[in-house]
Structure 1
Amino acid sequence: MDAGLFTANNVWMMICTALVFFMHLGFSFLEIGLTRQKNTVNILFKNVFIICVGLLLYYIGGFNLMYPGFEEGDLGILKFAGFGIAAPEGGMTAAYADGGYTWWTDFLFQGMFAATAATIVSGAVAERVKLGGFMLFTIIYVGLIYPIVGAWKWGGGWLDSLGFYDFAGSTLVHSVGGWGALIAIYLLGARIGKFSEDGKPKAIPGHNLPLAAAGVLILWLGWFGFNGGSVLSADPELTSLVLVTTSLAAAAGGVSAFLTSFLAYKNYDLTMFLNGILGGLVAITAGADQMSPNNAVVIGLLAGVIIVGGVALVDRLKLDDPVGAVAVHLICGIWGTLAVGIFGELASFDQFLIQLAGVGAVAAFCPLTAFIILFAIKKFAGIRVTEQEELQGLDIHEHGMDAYADFRMNQH
């Protein structure tokens, strides 16, 4: 490969890695903004923990569990290439998907994706989860479950052989995290005061909507790396198309969600607008390289409607999701994955059935494993803080500090 092209590919992939890393700040801001002031330190701690431990777990075994080198005759379900990482024989450079960039860059880019799956769970369980229980769940889910599912497609496993398509992770990242979030909030129960005695949901306003808005805009920026890097090269034409479809779906998702919310509730809901943008981003992620701009707009528009309906459905089921993670990452992740079989270059009834099979496989494996892990933690260590700790805030009880100490002192 031409040295200039190799360098350009590698630099682009490193930039995308940095953008995906930056998404963790976006997730942090979004979660902080949509929850109460008294739990800010707790949310920041969880998000910093996820990045650090996610990378270490991916180094220890996750990378080799996700890319084990399936061979002919393997079932393509589970294989492990060993602990730790080292440059492959022949040096540290390798050509992935004809992109041609270093093996180290590939590890770091994929490691950033691994941490994202756990961040999705973090927001859904905010304000009432025991920190120790959450950390233990993160270690097992990110260390084992995420790379096993990833290997089925991206590691050349059985879903890849079947023809399943997921460009950048609507299913392999977002719905894996979304299923974990759904099971976690089911086992945790709702926050105190979320539902009235007759079961009707009550709003628990977030304390900083400017931070939430900043978080979503940072996430949108980060998605240029999330999807753009998944081209696995600096191919000008394909990378440009991916960034266009990604942005159009995000914009359409936001507009669709706020309009749908306005028609349903007669107000301009900023939080629904923000989650609509994220829903559009999640939905386009499975097929961003396969879609025309028209396709991307339609996928985003439908994702925005799905967001409003998904948030209402979660409330109706008496589940408490403070940041809308289930609607955004799980439901829109499923929609985006199925959309590959409906729109774009791969659209066909057979492809739709293959996409449905992939969604079904993950829908069977992830909730089951998440339930086993969380139920065991709940039984032996506990996953929910006490009523007093929840009412007074996790920052004081779990961390012994306040995110806005000066502000609170001035109040007194």
Structure 2
Amino acid sequence: MTSIVKPKSSKSRNHRKTNRYTAASWLPRIPKKWRRLSPSLWACIPLAALIVALWSTAASAQEQELTPEYVQGVLNTIWIVVASILVIFMNAGFGMLETGFCRQKNAVNILSKNLIVFALATLIYWAVGFSFMYGQGGGFIGGGGWFLSSGDPATYGLAPFPEGLPIPVSFLFQVAFAATAATIVSGAVAERVRFSAFIVFSLLLVGISYAITGHWTWGGGWLNNVGGGFQDFAGSTIVHSVGGWAALMGAYWIGPRTGKYEDGRPQAIPGHNMSLATLGCLILWIGWFGFNPGSELAATPNVPYIAVTTNLSAAAGGVAATITSAIKDGKPDISMIINGILGGLVAITAGCDAMTYAGAAITGVIAGVLVVFAVPFFDSVLKIDDPVGAISVHLVNGAWGTIAVAFPFFTQSGSTADFLAQIIGILSIGLFTVVLSSIFWLVLKATLGIRVSEDEEKEGLDIGEHGMEAYHGFIKEASK
């Protein structure tokens, strides 16, 4: 049988002819050695030209101001913008981590919360939070310059440029930290919280509670005058413990997931994707190099030192958690390895600028051990259902790291914090966050409601809250 081959349409041929003509019209004009460049390198040419043009313009405009102080100010500004981006990118890490640790039927819900929380934090912190935290006021709360309306750096406790950072850069860096506190809560209340309730709580936490306790410390408030002054360089307590306390109250008031406890005994509810959780951990680890070194708030020789102490504590935390979980449970648990690394990162955050290398490693080792025992303590003893271990990582190790700064054999000579001031800071910030968070959760419980129905929880929040599936079309094991 003779096969019949249809002739190609004149339209397609015309297209090919046009393409050949177009290519021939310009390719010969380009030197052959240039044609070997990849498309990505070609794309860099206009970008490089733009940078050179902008730099030339800026240099011409500031020709009389190119002093060493001005150049240093520009370097400080660029570095803090980069650090801000790294901290913002941590939201992706939180999203991957929490999604992997939870069941597949709640993946869309968890991703949605972690995505929207930064948007929410940006808006509320822009409106009132930044002013409450850094605005001029008493020892309890700041104020003024709402919506970044003031052009005077002193309004937000900043020195004029180039000695201090520009207002927009300072805001960008600080709002990334504020969002982290709210993101921590997401994991502890996962798989049963109402999306609308979480949104409102995040606004209240970032705009009011976090901003007020932040003013007590970084905003020049009353905790700086207690004893030798409360020290928390990058936020073990100010950011992480605050998020941990708020998460603890959320998990308590919302209650455990359906089926978590039978006859008073906790039942394992495994996460659905440890690959995502591991990726999330690595993203967070990378992001912490903006979190801690960026808190230097300048491009100084101390930045790489802080990066090394941060990395040492994370590594030591992961190794310690691996060994501890293997001894305790018979086999190393990947979830404990992940939380051990994160625990080490949280713990070093308070003293990453002051710790010796050995002190940083010891801080991480203790953090890794603490995580392994803290998770079952909250799960079995206190009956607090925390699907991702956020309370153990951020609350427990946030407190531990803040205390560790007061141990002289952990820190460089002359940089030891006042032990009493550290304890007062941890307890006062914790108590205030517990009270205010409880008020927020209880008001939401009485109005919007903070928990989905039992049917929605069993079906999954992806369907109940969002009307979609994360893995539509894939063969999935039936959700329990």
TM-score by length of 1: 0.94
Aligned partner letter, 1:188: I
- Report the CA distance between 1:100 and its aligned residue: 3.6
* Structure-1 separation of matches of 2:421 and 2:81: 33
- The residue type paired with residue 261 of structure 2 is F
* Corresponding residue of 2:251: 185
* Secondary structure of 2:266 counterpart: coil
Q: Kindly indicate whether residue 400 of structure 2 is the aligned counterpart of residue 339 of structure 1.
A: no
Give the CA deviation at 1:250: 0.2
Q: RMSD of the alignment, in Å? A: 2.0
Q: Which residue of 2 aligns with 1:255?
A: 319
- CA distance in 1 between counterparts of 2:386 and 2:224 reads 32
Aligned length: 404
Alignment partner for residue 235 of structure 1, among 294, 300, 317? 300
- Partners of 1:138 and 1:6 lie apart in 2 by 34
Amino acid paired to 1:131? F
**Does structure 1 residue 77 correspond to structure 2 residue 144?**
no
Aligned ranges 1:98-137 → 2 under 5 Å = 100-137=164-201
SS at 1:286 equivalent? coil
CA–CA distance in structure 2, aligned partners of residues 211 and 396 of structure 1: 21
Identity %: 48
Query: What residue identity is the alignment partner of 2:348?
Result: I
Task: Give the Å deviation of 1:87.
Answer: 4.9
Shift in Å at residue 95 of structure 1? Answer: 4.1
Contact kept? 1:78, 1:148, Cα under 8 Å: yes
Q: 1:96 to 1:244 in 2, by over 3 A?
A: farther
Structure possessing the higher relative contact order (Cα contacts under 8 Å, 6 or more residues apart): 1
User: After the TM superposition, which residues 173-252 of structure 1 pair with which residues of structure 2 at under 5 Å, given as runs?
Assistant: 173-197=239-263, 199-236=264-301, 238-252=302-316
Partner of 1:405, secondary structure, is: coil
Looking at structure 1, the residues matched to 477 and 399 of structure 2 have their Cα atoms a distance apart, in angstroms, of: 47
Question: Which 10-residue stretch deviates more, 199-208 or 282-291?
Answer: 199-208
Match of 1:5, as an amino acid? Q
Choose 1 or 2 for highest CA Rg: 2
Structure 2 counterpart of 1:143, from 162, 187, 207: 207
* Native 8 Å contact 2:135 2:155 kept in 1: no
Distance in 1, matches of 2:469 and 2:249, equals 30
Shift of 1:7: 1.7
Inter-partner Cα distance in structure 2 for 1:208 and 1:22: 21
One-letter identity of the residue aligned with 1:85: L
CA displacement at 1:90 relative to structure 2: 7.9
Q: 2:265 aligns to what SS in structure 1? A: coil
**Partner Cα separation in structure 2 for residue 320 and residue 157 of structure 1:** 35
SS in 2 for 1:235: coil
CA contact (8 A) 2:69 2:162 kept: no
Tell me if the contact between 2:79 and 2:298 (Cα under 8 Å) persists in the aligned partners. yes
Q: Residues of 2 paired with 1:315 and 1:357: CA distance?
A: 27
Structure 1 equivalent of residue 418 of structure 2? 351
- Mind listing any 5+ residue stretches in structure 1 that lack a counterpart? none
Q: Is residue 70–residue 162 contact of structure 2 (8 Å, CA) maintained in 1?
A: no
Matches of 1:258 and 1:90, distance apart in 2: 47
Contact 1:9 1:99 in 2 (8 A): no
Look up the match of 1:61.
128
Distance 1:389 1:3, change over 3 A: same
Corresponding residue number in structure 2 for 1:284: 348
Inter-CA distance 257–409: structure 2 relative to 1 (3 Å threshold): closer
> How far is the alpha carbon of 1:406 from its aligned partner?
2.1
The answer to whether the 8 Å contact 1:92/1:102 transfers is: no
Cα distance 1:3–1:249, how it changes in 2: closer, same or farther (>3 A)? Answer: same
Distance in 2 between residues matched to 1:242 and 1:228, nearest whole Å: 5
| Residues 78-110 of structure 1: CA deviation (Å, up to 9, x unaligned) | 232142103523899964898643221111000
Residue 366 of structure 1 aligns to a residue in which SS? helix
Q: Which residue of 2 aligns with 1:268?
A: 332
Instruction: Report the AA paired with residue 184 of structure 1.
Output: G
Partner AA of 2:141 in structure 1: L
Any idea what SS the aligned residue of 1:2 has? helix
Question: Corresponding residue for 1:29?
Answer: 96
Structure 1 Cα separation of the partners of residues 349 and 166 of structure 2:
24
CA contact (8 A) 1:97 1:232 kept: no
Q: Is the 8 A contact 2:73 2:161 kept in 1?
A: no
Q: How many angstroms apart in 1 are the aligned matches of 2:466 and 2:289?
A: 35
Partner of 1:41: 108
Local SS of the residue matching 1:406: coil
Give the letter aligned to residue 268 of structure 2.
Answer: A
Cα distance in 1, alignment partners of residues 230 and 296 from structure 2: 17
The aligned amino acid for 2:144 is A
- Name the structure 2 match of 1:315: 379
Change (3 A) 1:89 1:98: closer
Distance across 1 between alignment mates of 2:403 and 2:431: 16
Q: 1:96 to 1:203 in 2, by over 3 A?
A: farther
Give me the whole-angstrom Cα distance separating, in 2, the residues matched to 1:220 and 1:121.
19
Does residue 442 of structure 2 align to residue 375 of structure 1?
yes
- By how many angstroms is 1:273 displaced? 0.3
1:82-101 aligned at under 5 Å gives the runs 82-89=145-152, 95=159, 100-101=164-165
AA aligned to 1:407 is: F
Paired residue secondary structure (2:270): coil
Give, as a single letter, the amino acid of the residue that structure 1 aligns with 2:463.
I
Which has the larger displacement, 288-297 or 370-379?
A: 370-379
1:356–1:91 Cα change, 3 Å: closer
Q: What is the alpha-carbon distance in structure 1 between the residues aligned to residue 154 and residue 220 of structure 2? A: 22
2:87 to 10, 20, 35: 20
The corresponding residue for 2:365 is 301
User: What code does the residue aligned with 2:140 have?
Assistant: I
Aligned partners of 1:265 and 1:118: how far apart in 2?
32
Distance 1:111 1:146 in 2: 11
Q: Provide the rounded CA distance (Å) in 2 between the counterparts of 1:171 and 1:409.
A: 40
SS of the counterpart of 2:293?
A: helix
Q: Residue 261 of structure 2 aligns to a residue in which SS?
A: coil
